[in-house]
Amino acid sequence: MESKGVSRRDFIKTVGITTALAATGTIPPVLYASERRLVTFPEKTELLLLTSSPPQLETPLKYFRELVTPNEALFVRWHLSNIPTSVDLDSWRLVIHGNVDKPISLSMDELKKFEKVGYTAVIQCAGNGRSFFEPPIFGGQWMNGAMGNVTWGGVRLKDLLKSAGIKSGSMEVVFKGLDKAALPTVPGFLKSLPLDKALEDDIIVAYEMNGSELPMLNGFPVRLVVPGWYATYWVKSLSDIEVTDKPSENFWMKTAYRIPDDPCGCVEPGGAPKKTVPINRMTTRSLLINPEDGSRLKSGQSIELMGVAFSGGYSIREVLVSIDGGMNWSPARLGKDLGRYSWIQWFYPWQPAKPGNYQVMVRATNSIGESQPLDGLWNSSGYLLNKIEKYNLIVA
């Protein structure tokens, strides 16, 4: 067993946090959670380590300067420790069964005979930004790197389901991958979609990321892509699709990955929800990517602030930027539009006239008016984070 990737690197803090310390002189509450080592896993560039088994690896923010996130830099998040480490396409099959006329079992070649479709879509973990919740929440202490923007290629789930023939009375479609738990008492990782959702045109079984095969750690050979919805549904190393005539009783749908059943998906900080629903569409977000939080700039020098904005399947209509802690806001220029599931880059030219500490804030609004709250909304699982982020830039 090779242990080089995890064990020998020096323990370092990320640039963002160290600079935040330099800027404010106080220890931010996220410091403990953000002490991260950079590690190299197979087919991956150096990513920030959350956990090694099952692997949870976070993308350093600098990769989001690109419109499309390289495969080697995309974050990794598995739930069960026996993840697939070997797949032979000669024997691999994707099975579609359950409440269907004719169960089918597809090889990769057979799968690729269905019409190929594709688009660029943000993939984001439900718990992205969990480490910023106050009071803190158990679970992966992600900063903002559990996301990426990828061009997916594959076949429509709808086409596969139709070729198996959905029987009347069907309710849900259940997805299962090749990952397994260490003990049989741990519930297998199953996710399901209501049938009408599963039949939407844009849900695909993807065999390509940015024109290449999927890295093993991102779900080789195929994964489900549910654009606009959180990545918990984007089942990796997908091998089994079952149409059912009753609602799923599985732990990962019924108990985990649920949000408060109210319009904000939130409760009083520290509180518990009365009623919950399965998490679904992503909230609207925007981030400053360059310069990084805590950067030092020269007074009088022109720069361009740059970042990304996205929402759960609706185009971004507007991004507003404030450089004075939210007192004044002006629109940013939006970059190339790769469609409603992609993130869009925003740019804001700025020439700081005077030395001092500047607080930058960014706020996006999508085409149906969804935007970002000033203060964080809280829920007991640390999902849906989309508060307006605050960044410090020091001009000297």
Partner 1 sequence: MKFIILLFISAALFFTSAALAGDQGFVKEGSKRSITLPAPNITLKEGPGRDVTSSYCRICHSLDYITTQQKFTKAKWMAVVTKMIKVYGAPISGENAKIIADYITTHYGIGG
Question: Which residues contact ligand HEC by CB under 6 A?
Answer: 79, 138-139, 183, 185-186
User: 47-52 and 38-39: which strand pairing?
Assistant: antiparallel
- Omega cis (within 30) before 54: yes
Q: Which of 127, 189, 199, 119 is nearest to 151 (CA)?
A: 119
- 356-366 vs 390-395, strand pairing mode: antiparallel
Which residue's CB is nearer to partner 1, number 22 or number 368? 22
- Rounded alpha-carbon distances, angstroms, from residue 123 to 132, 159, 167, 236, 334: 19, 22, 31, 12, 20
Shortest distance, position 166 Cβ to partner 1, whole Å: 31
When CB distances are held under 5 to 8 angstroms depending on the partner's kind, the choice from partner 1, ligand HEC, none that residue 18 binds is partner 1
Separation CA 357–CA 339 (nearest Å): 36
Shortest Cβ 340–partner 1 spacing (Å): 31
Q: Is the backbone of residue 325 left (phi > 0), alpha (psi -120 to 50) or beta?
A: left
For binding to partner 1 (CB under 8 A), which residues are involved?
A: 1-7, 9-10, 12-15, 18-19, 21-22, 29-30, 32-33, 38-46, 49-55, 60, 62, 72, 80-81, 83, 85-90, 131, 136, 138, 141, 181-187, 213, 216-217, 220-221, 251, 255, 294
Which residue, 168 or 185, has its beta carbon nearer to ligand HEC? 185
Residue 81 vs 315, nearer CB to partner 1: 81
Shortest spacing between CB 76 and ligand HEC, in angstroms = 12
Q: Kindly report the number of other CB atoms within 10 A of residue 324's CB atom.
A: 11
Dist CA 70 CA 78 (whole Å): 19
Tell which phi-psi region holds residue 169, choosing left (phi > 0), alpha (psi between -120 and 50) or beta.
Answer: left
- 347 exposure class (CB count in 10 Å sphere: 0-12, 13-18, 19+): middle
Could you list the beta-strand ranges (E) of 196-272: 204-209, 223-225, 238-244, 258-260
Our CB check for ligand HEC shows the closer of 119 and 251 to be 251
Cβ closer to ligand HEC: 232 or 248? 232
Task: Determine contact, residues 132/97, Cβ cutoff 8 Å.
Answer: no
The entry of partner 1, ligand HEC, none near residue 265 (CB within 5 to 8 angstroms by kind) is: none
Task: Find the shortest distance in angstroms from Cβ 260 to partner 1.
Answer: 19
**Any idea what DSSP says for residue 386?**
-
Residue 336 site contact among ligand HEC, partner 1, none (CB < 5 to 8 Å, cut-off depends on kind): none
Q: What is the nearest approach in angstroms of ligand HEC to the Cβ of residue 49?
A: 14
Contacted by 104, from partner 1, ligand HEC, none: CB < 5 to 8 Å by type: none
5 binds, among ligand HEC, partner 1, none (CB under 5 to 8 A by kind): partner 1
What residue 222 binds from partner 1, ligand HEC, none (CB within 5 to 8 A, per partner kind)?
A: none
Q: Which is nearer to ligand HEC, 11 or 138 (CB)?
A: 138
CB of 204 vs ligand HEC, minimal distance in Å: 25
Which partner from the list ligand HEC, partner 1, none does 168 bind, CB cut-off 5 to 8 Å by kind?
A: none
Alpha-carbon span 315 to 312, nearest angstrom: 9
Distance of CA 125 to the CA centre of its chain: 3
378 interface partner picked from partner 1, ligand HEC, none, CB below 5 to 8 A per type: none
- As measured in angstroms, the least distance from the Cβ of 41 to ligand HEC is 16
Q: Could you tell me the CA-to-CA distances from 97 to 120, 163, 206, 236 in Å, in that order?
A: 29, 11, 19, 18
CB 181, min distance to partner 1, A: 7
The nearer residue to ligand HEC, 186 or 272, going by C-beta atoms, is 186
